[in-house]
């Protein structure tokens, strides 16, 4: 078993934590960015037999480098099946997706997400990207994992707009709304890991990241946050997990500030993908994938 890494970044900790949420043998709907990094880590460590489904239209891909966007053809590499976006979205709406990873700009105590607007919908302070496939996944996946930053402004008492459903207004609400999916099971943030109470459907703090103070976590939540009586410290990433992430993303484009650093340097951006290819080929061979 790989030892825990002593040197790792907060995004790497988050990605490793989400990777541990993916179970072997599952079908997971994964988006580009940090969720894809988490899924790749899971594939090469704790869940070698799980399969990804991506919005581009592929099921079971095992790419040897990161895709540049949702519609990148790399998302189809070594896939069991390649089709259309309509087909994979239809499959997840039919209940075939075990777990999905989504995000948002705001979240409330029941795990509902806003990724549409900050402020009034018709006259917002900020207009965001919108749902994409997040509403479908939140509604239909057997369970969802939420990844997001926590900055003191986005864990709110009331969303400015409900884009993707969590447990709506509490117990039984998803069923009354006709949602087939099971709802969120974990929220992984820059401060800790949250779960949902089985009876109240409200979020509570299960784990706190190393070096984070509990009072700071509570101050970053706009409601009276419940804390597990058995509060744990988040498990660090292993050396192997960090190695995989840094092989794929050495410039921290997906797991850091690399996008800002690389602005205008397209050749360096493409070189990063090229340099990761052979090490990933070797790693796949060593894992028998």
Distance CA 227, CA 208 (A): 10
User: Which residue reads 């990804």 in tokens?
Assistant: 52
Beta-strand runs (E) in the chain: 27-29, 51-54, 58-59, 81-82, 99-102, 106-107, 113-114, 117-119, 124-127, 143-147, 184-188, 192-196, 203-208, 226-233
User: Among 119, 133, 126, which residue's Cα sits nearest to residue 161?
Assistant: 119
Backbone dihedral angles phi then psi of residue 118, each to the nearest 5 degrees: -110, 120
Backbone dihedral angles phi then psi of residue 176, each to the nearest 5 degrees: -65, -30
User: Which residue reads 């072997």 in tokens?
Assistant: 24
Q: If you write DSSP's letter for every residue of 30-80 in order, what string do you get?
A: --TTHHHHHHHHHHHTT-TT-EEEETTTEES---SS--SSTT-GGGGTT-S
User: Catalytic residue at 55?
Assistant: yes
One of 12, 21, 55, 206 is an active-site residue; which one?
A: 55
Output the six-digit token pair for 189: 């943030």
CA dist 54 → 6, 58, 67, 100, 252 (Å)? 32, 6, 11, 10, 22
Within 10 Å of residue 169's Cβ, how many Cβ atoms?
A: 14
Q: Are 85 and 59 in contact (CB under 8 A)?
A: no
Please identify every residue annotated as catalytic.
Answer: 55
């Amino acid at each position: 078993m790989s030892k825990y890494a002593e040197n790792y970044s907060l995004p790497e900790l988050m990605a490793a934590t989400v990777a541990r949420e993916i179970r072997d043998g599952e079908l997971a709907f994964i988006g580009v960015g940090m969720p894809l990094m988490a899924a790749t880590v899971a594939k090469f460590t704790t869940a070698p037999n799980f399969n990804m489904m991506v919005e581009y239209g592929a099921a079971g891909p095992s790419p040897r480098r990161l895709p540049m966007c949702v519609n990148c053809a790399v998302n189809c590499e070594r896939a069991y099946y390649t089709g259309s976006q309509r087909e994979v979205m239809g499959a997840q709406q039919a209940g075939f997706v075990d777990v999905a990873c989504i995000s948002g700009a705001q979240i409330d105590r029941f795990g509902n997400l806003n990724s549409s607007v900050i402020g009034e919908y018709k006259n917002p302070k900020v207009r965001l990207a919108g749902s994409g496939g997040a509403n479908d996944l939140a509604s239909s996946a057997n369970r969802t994992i939420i990844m997001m930053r926590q900055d003191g402004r986005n864990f709110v008492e009331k969303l400015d707009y409900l884009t993707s459903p969590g447990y709506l207004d509490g117990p039984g609400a998803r069923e009354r709304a006709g949602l087939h999916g099971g709802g969120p099971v974990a929220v992984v943030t820059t401060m800790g890991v949250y779960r949902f109470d089985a009876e109240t459907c409200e979020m509570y703090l299960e784990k706190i990241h190393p070096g984070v103070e509990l009072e700071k976590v509570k101050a970053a939540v706009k409601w009276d946050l419940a804390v597990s009586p058995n509060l744990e410290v988040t498990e660090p990433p292993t050396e192997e997990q960090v190695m995989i992430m840094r092989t794929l993303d050495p410039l921290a484009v997906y797991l850091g500030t690399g996008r800002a650093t690389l602005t205008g340097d397209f050749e360096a951006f493409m070189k990063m993908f090229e340099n990761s290819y052979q090490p990933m080929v070797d790693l796949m061979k060593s894992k028998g994938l």
